[in-house]
Amino acid sequence: MLLNTCHTNPRVVGPSKNGSIGLMMTWTVAAPAISAAFLSSLVEAVEALTIVLAVGTVRGWRPAGLGAVAGLALLALIVLALGPLLDRVPLNLLQLAIGILLLLFGMRWLRKAILRAAGVIPLHDEAIAYATETAQLREQASLDNARLDWLAALASFKAVMIEGLEVVFIVVAVGAGRGLIIPASVGAIAACLLVAGIGFAIHRPLARVPENTLKFVVGVMLSAFGVFWIGESFGVDWPGKDIAIIVFAALFFVVALGTVALTRRVGREALQ
Amino acid sequence: MSAVIRVLRQVAGLFVEDGWLALAILGIVALAAVLALLMPRLSPAAGALLLFGCLGVLVANVMRAARHDQEP
């Protein structure tokens, strides 16, 4: 996950006062990247762990572990293969492509979080997801026992692969182009280790993680990053430079909260 | 083959869940790009269009989804 920090930002890397070249990363620059990567990775890690735990509980830890390790290995291969390619992409094209993906990804999460907060769609419950997954595996077990270990390993592999891909995407999107791959990777790895540690210690899915709140906050942050990056790729000179990201996030947050209130009112009026 | 297609669909689903929302976002980005590239002096206006366009699209999409959900 630690890719090359190819495109340097003068505010991030530059000569220090005593003439030495070193990392001059300020907390205000790194903190949004670390927290965005940490919070979004937390959500993805919980989702992956729920399925791995379900597989492990029903079919044993061997297929669950094999599937998860295979998923992690493929993810590592994807990162190692694609990481160096980022060096070759012009910065404004990289900003545009990743900005668009961030905006699509962030607004998708934000939309869903608003609809859940307003009660239009039900909240995602890891306990229900875990119960559904274990029920499906048990049903398959009664049909075909021989193929089941493969199916179980495949379920574990797919969960780690898909959710891990989201984590990799977020790390690259938040960090690439601004020399923040390492802080973003640190945030993501910390979240994955935290969830894996707690999950395997308690052997239950982390149902108490406030997933919708996290998705709401991360959706706001990713949308703000997306707008900022797309604008930068077009040559927009944002007032306040990096500070603009915080202003955009505040705007997205206020508008999203307002939309929750508006949606609830529309729902109440429809019921009357 | 169908497993590969399923995985690819899931990867695409990371970014696109509601086609209307995705198309509207891409439309706003395209409009802002045209404005910024054809009239570089108006790049602040392109930035404003991008930001407020995305906010508007979000509100409109959520309201649409909420109304759609309440239809009998």
Interface list for chain A against chain B, based on CB atoms closer than 8 Å: 100-101, 103-105, 107-108, 110-112, 114-115, 118, 120-121, 158, 161-162, 165-166, 169, 223, 227, 230-231, 234-238, 248, 251-252, 255-256, 258-259, 262-263, 266-267, 270
Neighbour count for residue B47 (Cβ, 10 Å): 26
Phi, psi dihedral angles at A230 (to 5 degrees): -60, -45
Could you tell me which residues are beta bridge partners of residue A23?
Answer: A13
Q: What is the pLDDT of residue A22?
A: 41
**Alpha carbons B34 and B44: distance in angstroms, whole number:** 13
Predicted confidence (pLDDT) at residue A8 exceeds the cutoff of 50: no
Cβ–Cβ < 8 Å for A184, A170: yes
| Partner residue facing A107 (CB), from B14, B21, B69 | B21
Prediction ipTM score: 0.86
| Partner residue facing B63 (CB), from A166, A223, A262 | A262
Tell me the pLDDT tens digit for each residue of A101-148. 889 989 998 999 999 988 888 776 667 777 777 777 777 666 666 566
Name the range with the highest mean pLDDT among A66-75, A96-105, B27-36. B27-36
**Alpha carbons A107 and A113: distance in angstroms, whole number:** 10
Within an 8 Å CB–CB cutoff, is residue B26 touching chain A? Answer: yes
Task: Report the mean per-residue pLDDT for chain A.
Answer: 78
Quick one: CA dihedral A203, A207, A211, A214, positive or negative?
Answer: negative
Helical ranges in chain A per DSSP H: 27-59, 61-82, 91-117, 126-143, 145-175, 181-202, 211-234, 243-271
Between A270 and A71, residue with greater pLDDT: A71
A44: its two tokens: 């993805």
The answer to whether the Cβ–Cβ distance between B70 and A231 falls below 8 Å is no
| Closest residue by Cα to residue A6 from A177, A129, A128, A175 | A177
The answer to whether the Cβ–Cβ distance between B47 and A238 falls below 8 Å is yes
Interface of B with A in 36-55 (CB under 8 A): 36-37, 40, 43-44, 46-47, 50-51, 54-55
Is pTM beyond 0.80 here?
no
**Alpha carbons A243 and A170: distance in angstroms, whole number:** 20
**Alpha carbons A19 and A17: distance in angstroms, whole number:** 5
